[in-house]
Structure 1
């Protein structure tokens, strides 16, 4: 699956151009921290860029993946400020293999607060 391989390349390199190339113009990002969907390539790219910086530390790893046609679900785990965090990335791909919809869920609640604070700071630096 070229699309999931491309996503793993983004995660591995954090390359902003690879990320931008992978996101459809009409993409929508669903954050565990913001109650409204973030629509469009610009916002989706910003949120995913911030997430890559906040979550991708040495402990980050995908635990399992499930792929079914245009849908992928990737469970991840990491440690952040001494908190064991796990979550799920749910990706819908378009016909061209680009990200059309990206939803993130994170647990436990204690981790959400840490991620929220760090994401807000990172999004501010990306402006």
Structure 2
């Protein structure tokens, strides 16, 4: 099992962030411009753990020693069910340097975008 999957399933954001390269590039399913850097990704991971309900990884694609992995998941945001995939690429140091998330269907993406925007723009969000 990929260590990132293990960390997310345990809801351990610190462990998940520790697996990211300092200059990781994160591509979100809801914004065009990628996020750059480990500390830019931390609040996104913290928020998504709160937003996703009934989250579970369904399968993992990629050899244990491969640089590329795909983690297929399902979740719910409010009354919208969604499916998605975390595409991870590790650099030579073993840290994740590229992280792309794709989500479907469109109704799930919209619900995710609205919930994430509300959480990340809330001044009381820690």
Quickly name the TM-score band, shorter chain normalised: 0.7 to 0.9
Gaps of 5+ in 2: none
TM-score (norm 1): 0.84
The 1-side partners of 2:49 and 2:93 are apart by: 23
Q: Does 1:119 align with 2:116?
A: yes
Pick which of 80-89 and 27-36 moved more: 80-89
Match of 2:98 among 94, 101, 112: 101
Taking the TM superposition and a 5 Å limit, the aligned residue runs for 1:23-102 are 23-55=20-52, 57=53, 59-68=54-63, 69-102=66-99
After TM superposition, the score normalised by the length of structure 2 is: 0.85
Q: Which runs of 4+ in 1 moved over 4 A?
A: none
The aligned residue for residue 18 of structure 2 is 21
Would you say how many aligned residue pairs link Structure 1 and Structure 2? Answer: 121
**Aligned residues of 1:60 and 1:76 also touching (Cα < 8 A):** yes
When the two chains are superposed, the root-mean-square deviation of aligned CA atoms in Å is 1.7
